[in-house]
Structure 1
Amino acid sequence: MHRPPTAEAQVAAELADIRPALVPRYAAELPGARAAVLTRLWRALAHEPLPWVTRRVAGSEGLELRLADGRALRGPLADPYATDAYVSAVRLDGVPYDDPARLMTGLAVPHATGFAAELAHSTASLALSRAGQPDHSAEWPERDWEWEQRVVDGHPFHPNCRSRPGFSVAEQLAYGPEHRPVVRLGTVPVDASESLLTGDWPEELRDGTRLLIPVHPWQAAHVLKVPCENGPAAHPLMSLRTLALPGGPHVKTALSTRLTSSVRDISRYSVAASATLSAFAEELAARTDGLLHVTRTLGAITADSSDLAAVLRESPQMYAAPGEQVLPVASLAATDLPGSPERLAALTRLALTVGLRLLELGVALEAHGQNLLVVLSASGTPVRLIYRDLADIRISPARLTRHGITPPPLTGRLVTDDETALRRKLFGSLMAGSLAGTAGSAASLRSALDTAVRDLPAGPDLTALRESPVPAKALTLMRLSRDIPGDQWTTLPNPLH
């Protein structure tokens, strides 16, 4: 029986046609990519509440997972905060597996087939991403988007760290930020009376009574399937669908495909709330004594479709003084800068100070390494934070009112007074996300936290941070629970214990 080519072989074949010089490097990167994705998958198997894992036993020889069907899965002890690819193989009933897609197929649990295909694509795309990397200079990049393009491996803990379904190899090379392309956006004209616009829309994106919506070329070709007029050239940032216009704002485009866990469209709800949310966040950031800036949303538009929408935001570079650098926290782990333990401790203190202060006031930031940016002094010391993309923060009217702050006139998913939901949003993104990804191990994170929490003001949120397990999104469980919408959660050992 003829079997279709594997994802790895398919990428190799496409690469041989369009960039044959990269084929040897791609092949050389495949073992490391498999180990990187397998390490992320093993973390999930060890720590997420998967219904078919009935027991976990840790011992001197590693970790054993007992499965509901009686089989045993064995591998190394799983550091939930490790980012190095330390898992090269695991054994399922004595049979070694070094390929995460093969392992998921062998587990044969519900929805395993679809998830295995995603893992195979993630592995092949990760090897492709690594294959085209130059040797980075020890010098700092000259432009802010160059920092973002240093993040090659994607999400530090998601097995789908580089899954880009629907993207050919040519499209990954043309649009992936780690490949450092210049992307020519398209524009689709819409009648102003038939669209929803909040904020201001620049003159260069107007044509008489029509408004020009920036469109990602992948979206134009695969989803909208309409001709687009030539728009501005831009540099893709970490999220791939958000791009930096040279000397101008950042533009967030709709990209209706599933990257890691989510489809990256732009809802009407987000567009409608954007101006109110931006003004509110700017007001709240003023209460942090200059430790936090929030990039303003300049304008947002939708043609009454989540597939045809865009958001214009300030560039974070606006908040850097001469000699300072602004970079996403995720870029720190990909950059060789001196004084890393001290920098991590300073960043941890700064991020917890700001995050807990805003949480006490009534706002939980989704402070993962992509949304949270740090301003470094000329010597590399973290001095301020910048936050961008307000689409998934959480706002507590009760907490705001308690502090004499008028809640913004918003409804829907952004608004909750649930203490668990608020703490999950901040701690899950900050502790189990940006800080863990920067630290790279439980030991490094513990050291940074030990230093940082001593000086933080007491309060119930700090007590929860100190004493409770760390919430984290159950990313693999979510991909294996296709019939359950929304986020699902697990807890990780608290490094402070």
Structure 2
Amino acid sequence: MHRPPTVEAQVAAELADARPGLVPRYSAELPGARAAVLTRLWRALAHEPLPWITRRAPGPQGLALRLADGRALHGPRADPYATGAYVTAVHLDDEQYDDPARLMTDLAVPHSAGFAAELGHSVASLALSRAGHPAHPKEWPARDWEWEQRVVDGHPFHPNCRSRPGFSVAEQLAYGPEHGPVVELRTVPVPRDECLLTGSWPADGERLLIPVHPWQAAHVLKLSGEGGQPAHPLMSLRTLALPDGPHVKTALSTRLTSSVRDISEYSIGVSATLSSFAEDLAARTDGLLHVTRTLGAVTAHSPDLAAVLRESPRLYAGPGEHVLPVGALATTGLQDSPAWLAGFTRLALGVGLRLLELGVALEAHGQNLLVVLSATGAPLRLVYRDLADIRVSPARLARHGIRPPGLSGRLVTDDETALRRKLFGSLVAGALAGTAGSGAALRTALETAVRDLPRTPDLTALCEEPLPAKALTLMRLSPQTPGDQWFGLPNPLVLEPDTSDQ
């Protein structure tokens, strides 16, 4: 029977046309990319509450998973906080798999076919990212966007870490930040009275000029022509640094990793209120946290045509200092020092828990949270950007005599579980775990950091309860369930992350 070409082969064929000189490097990177994605997938299989896995127990290879249909999966012990690519193969009954897409296809669980296709895209795009990433000098970058373009592998724990199914190879090379491109931002003039605007915005008479990502211009808005203002793509791909400093977040109506990257009218409407409130709240952290201000936000009453203009985090770094996303820390090597990692963990946890106590849970993952380093690499303070998905507790704010902002909708909750999930899931299970690189390193850093922190109920929950994390694979395999789904990881402060019966 004739089988259609794999995503890996399709990407190779496109690459032969777009940039033939990269084909050998792409081919050489494929085994490592498969292992990196398989490692992330195995973490999910070992720990997430997937309904078709009925038992987890020690096995001859380290871990055995019993499936509802009687089959068994065998693989190494899975550290839920480890990064890298330590899983090169797993076994489904007697057959060995080194390809995560083929494994998911043969598992044949509900919705596995679509997810398998995404895994194939993730592997191929990751190999392409590694092949096309220019070598960076040993010297640290002078510009903030250069730090962001050092991040190659994407999300440290999501199997879809580099899934870009809506992008051709040529578009990945042209728009992916890890390839170091300059992107030409188009603008679409829209009559002012047809827009929702907060803050200030560039205009041409009575028309507002809305920046549009070139992918969006071609595929969604169907605009003809080329050209525009040059800008540098950041970690999020759809957010770009303009030559004069500000960052512009554009709508991008395709699924990257897990989400379709549009901008809701709700987030535009609350942006000015959120920005002002966050600036006032950050002033209560004794200078340890700054929040980039939203300068303006606009939508033509469509999630496909909207943009947000923010300050550059560089404004909060002094002479000789560096500001970089936490997700880029692994490119510095600083995290290899236990003392440095403990100090950074103390800083990040202290600020995050302080704001949570006051009434705000940040979504402090490795992309939104940035750290300011001294010239010698010491962590000095934090910068936070993108307020679109924080959570605000009016009750907690009121307890501290803080007037709640005029907000309603999904950002507002007094549910302690929801608040802790937002912060702990993004900061501890995400940014700090991704920086530490293993459960052992994370545990050591946390043990040192929590000694000096105020003993609040939130800290007690962090130290004693399972660590909340998004069930990223479960979410991709249950498209009929809207919103985030959560589960508890073994708490690194309580016990060794293990794979005992669940």
Residue matched to 2:49: 49
**Structure 1: which 5+ residue stretches go unaligned?**
none
Query: Is the 8 Å Cα contact of residues 187 and 229 (structure 1) preserved in structure 2?
Result: no
Matched, 1:354 2:351: yes
Contact 1:235 1:243 in 2 (8 A): yes
How many residues end up aligned between the 2 structures?
494
Residue 109 of structure 1 corresponds to which residue in structure 2?
Answer: 109
Shift of 1:247: 2.5
Q: Which residue of the partner structure matches residue 462 of structure 1?
A: 459
Structure 1 residues 375 and 176, CA, compared in 2 at 3 Å: closer, same or farther? Answer: same
Match of residue 476 from structure 2: 479
Could you report, residue by residue, the CA deviation over 1:220-242 in whole angstroms, capped at 9, with x for unpaired residues?
A: 10011124674311000000000
Match of 1:248 among 245, 248, 259: 245
1:224 match: secondary structure:
coil
Q: How many Å apart are 1:84 and its aligned residue?
A: 1.6
1:96 aligns with 2:93: no
Aligned residue for 2:500? Answer: none
CA distance in structure 2 between the partners assigned to 1:18 and 1:61 by the alignment = 42
Specify the code of the residue in structure 1 equivalent to 2:257.
T
Deviation at 1:137, TM superposition (A): 2.0
CA contact (8 A) 1:184 1:233 kept: yes
1:276 aligns with 2:294: no
Q: CA deviation at 1:59?
A: 4.7
Write the letter of the residue equivalent to 1:313: R
User: In the alignment, what sits opposite 2:371?
Assistant: 374
Q: Amino acid of the residue matched to residue 434 of structure 1? A: A
Q: TM-score, normalised by structure 2?
A: 0.97
**Alignment-derived partner of residue 497 in structure 2:** none
Distance in 1 between residues matched to 2:366 and 2:257, nearest whole Å: 15
Q: 2:298 aligns with which of 301, 311, 323?
A: 301
Q: CA deviation at 1:370?
A: 0.2
Instruction: Give the corresponding residue for 1:3.
Output: 3
Q: Work out whether residues 35 and 85 of structure 1, in 8 Å CA contact, stay in contact via their aligned partners in 2.
A: yes
Correspondence for 1:232 among 229, 232, 240: 229
Match of 1:398 in 2: 395
Aligned-residue offset at 1:5: 1.1
315-324 or 2-11, which deviates more:
2-11
- For 2:192, give the aligned amino acid: A
Hey, what's the Cα distance between the residues in 1 that align with 2:421 and 2:334?
31
Q: Is the CA contact 2:326–2:435 (under 8 Å) kept in the aligned structure 1?
A: yes
**1:283 Cα offset (Å):** 0.4
* 1:157-168 matched pairs, under 5 angstroms: 157-168=157-168
Q: Which amino acid aligns with 1:383?
A: L
Equivalent in 427, 430, 439 of residue 430 of structure 1: 427
Partner residue, 2:29: 29
Selected match of 2:360 from 342, 359, 363: 363
User: Which has the larger displacement, 330-339 or 91-100?
Assistant: 330-339
Distance in structure 1 (CA, Å) of the matches to 2:305 and 2:406:
26
Q: Which of 338, 342, 345 is residue 341 of structure 1 equivalent to?
A: 338
User: Residues 171-210 of structure 1 correspond to what in structure 2 (within 5 A)?
Assistant: 171-201=171-201, 205-210=202-207
- How far 1:346 moved relative to its partner? 1.1
Give SS of 2:228's match. strand
**Structure 1 stretch displaced more, 51-60 or 437-446:** 51-60
Q: Distance in 1 between matches of 2:148 and 2:287?
A: 24
Question: Within the alignment, does 1:408 sit opposite 2:416 as a pair?
Answer: no
The one-letter code of the counterpart of 2:89 is A
- State the one-letter code of the partner of 1:110: P
CA distance in 2, matches of 1:226, 1:128: 28
CA distance in 2, matches of 1:228, 1:324: 41
How far apart, in 1, do the equivalents of 2:318 and 2:35 lie?
A: 41
For 2:225 and 2:79, the matched residues in 1 are separated by 48
The 5 Å alignment of 1:15-164 reads 15-59=15-59, 61-164=61-164
Q: Is the CA contact (8 Å cut-off) linking 1:147 and 1:327 kept in structure 2? A: yes
**Residue type at the aligned position of 1:264:** R
Matched residue of 1:333: which SS?
helix
TM-score scaled by length of structure 1: 0.98
Could you tell me how far apart the structure 1 residues matched to 2:123 and 2:223 are?
Answer: 32
Give the gaps of 5 or more residues in structure 2.
Answer: 495-502
SS of 2:2 mapped into structure 1: coil
Q: In structure 1, what is the Cα distance between the partners aligned to 2:188 and 2:16?
A: 34
Q: Distance in 1 between matches of 2:95 and 2:216?
A: 42
User: Counterpart of 1:73 in 2: which secondary structure?
Assistant: strand
CA distance in 1, matches of 2:87, 2:195: 50
Q: Aligned partners of 1:444, 1:338: CA distance in 2, in Å?
A: 9
- Residue 189 of structure 1 aligns to a residue in which SS? strand
Q: Return the alpha-carbon distance in structure 1 between the equivalents of residues 30 and 429 of structure 2.
A: 27
Query: Residues 80, 338 of structure 1: CA spacing in aligned structure 2 closer, same or farther, 3 A cutoff?
Result: closer
SS at match of 2:30: helix
Rounded to whole Å, the distance in 1 between the matches of 2:174 and 2:233 is 10
1:188–1:228 CA contact under 8 A, matched in 2: no
Amino acid at match of 1:173: L
Give the alignment's Cα RMSD to 1 decimal. 1.1
SS at match of 1:163: coil
Percent identical = 81
Q: Which residue of 1 aligns with 2:488?
A: 491
Q: Does the 8 Å CA contact 1:138/1:337 hold for their aligned counterparts?
A: no
- Structure 1 counterpart of 2:371, one-letter code: V
Does the Cα contact within 8 Å between 2:278 and 2:291 map onto a contact in 1? yes
Contact 2:470 2:484 (8 Å CA) reproduced: yes
Contact 2:391 2:411 in 1 (8 A): yes
Residue identity matched to 1:364 = A
Which one-letter code corresponds to 2:438 in the other structure? S
- Structure 2 vs 1, CA of residues 167 and 338 (structure 1 numbering), >3 Å: closer, same or farther? closer
Residue 362 of structure 1, CA deviation: 0.2
Structure 1 residues 308, 222: closer, same or farther in 2, change over 3 A?
same
SS of equivalent to 1:458? coil
Shift of 1:246: 1.4
Aligned counterparts of 1:185 and 1:310: Cα–Cα separation in 2: 12
Contact 2:294–2:311 (CA<8 Å) still a contact in 1?
Answer: yes
| Aligned residue number for residue 14 of structure 1 | 14
Q: Secondary structure at the match of 2:58?
A: strand
> What residue identity is the alignment partner of 1:112?
S
What is the CA deviation profile of residues 409-453 of structure 1, one whole-angstrom value per residue up to 9, with x for unaligned ones?
100000000000000000000010000000000011011111100
1:206 deviates by 1.3
Q: Paired residue for 1:310?
A: 307
For the residue of structure 2 that corresponds to 1:164, the secondary structure is coil
CA contact (8 A) 2:277 2:405 kept: yes
